[in-house]
């Protein structure tokens, strides 16, 4: 009896499962495009904002402090493998960008995390430009360079 029920309804179950999966993928794509559009609108509406892209090994909670005394941005990354390079992008006010590496100092277990915690972490960013902050594994320092806006 159970085998007949499963055999008769298997295409239905697979169809529903497939539809749900496709729907979730479409929802994720649409959500990502909306976030990108919102970021673009914010950049155009506020000339004081600068886009900073972080491209370096990060731990799950990385704090980014802007112009001491102003806003504090926290990047929540889904990276569960310290040392794996992922890319995050945030909008920040022009001025100084300071990466708060206190989290690395507390949680530093690997050589990479310990070297990150000792790195220089203050960068100047100017209005109307886009920057990439990356970690140089050879020299063991963060580097900030201007990139072309896309």
pLDDT of residue 22: 86
pLDDT of residue 63: 47
63 and 92 assigned to the same domain: yes
Mean pLDDT of 67-81: 41
Spatial separation of the C-alpha atoms in residues 60 and 62, rounded to whole Å: 7
- The structure tokens listed for 96 are 């100084």
Mean pLDDT of 21-29: 82
Q: Is the pTM of this model over 0.85?
A: no
Q: Which residue has the higher pLDDT, 126 or 7?
A: 7
78 and 34 assigned to the same domain: no
Instruction: Please state the domain count of the chain.
Output: 2
68 and 82 assigned to the same domain: yes
pLDDT of residue 99: 57
Spatial separation of the C-alpha atoms in residues 86 and 71, rounded to whole Å: 23
40 and 82 assigned to the same domain: no
- The structure tokens listed for 143 are 């580097």
61 and 15 assigned to the same domain: no
The values of phi and psi at residue 129, to 5°, are -125, 160
- The structure tokens listed for 22 are 């496709």
58 and 131 assigned to the same domain: yes
38 and 70 assigned to the same domain: no
89 and 60 assigned to the same domain: yes
Domain that includes residue 89, residue range = 47-147
51 and 41 assigned to the same domain: no
Q: At 77, is the pLDDT very low, low, confident or very high (cuts 50, 70, 90)?
A: very low
Spatial separation of the C-alpha atoms in residues 79 and 16, rounded to whole Å: 31
1 and 61 assigned to the same domain: no
Which residue reads 């904002």 in tokens? 49
pLDDT of residue 148: 64
Contacting residues for 114 by C-beta, under 8 A, at least 6 apart: 104, 108
């Amino acid at each position: 009896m159970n085998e007949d029920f499963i055999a008769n309804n298997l295409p239905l179950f697979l169809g529903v499962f497939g539809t749900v999966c496709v729907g979730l993928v479409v929802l994720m794509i649409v959500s990502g495009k909306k976030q990108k559009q919102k970021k673009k609108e914010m950049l155009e509406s506020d000339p004081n904002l600068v886009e900073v892209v972080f491209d370096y090994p990060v731990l799950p909670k990385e704090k980014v402090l802007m112009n001491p005394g102003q806003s504090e941005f926290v990047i929540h990354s889904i990276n569960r493998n310290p040392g794996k390079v992922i890319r995050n992008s945030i909008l920040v006010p022009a001025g100084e960008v300071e990466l708060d590496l206190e989290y690395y100092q507390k949680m530093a277990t690997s050589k990479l995390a310990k070297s990150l915690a000792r790195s220089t972490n203050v960068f100047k960013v100017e209005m109307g430009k886009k920057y990439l902050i990356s970690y140089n594994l050879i020299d063991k320092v963060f580097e900030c360079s201007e990139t072309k806006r896309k």
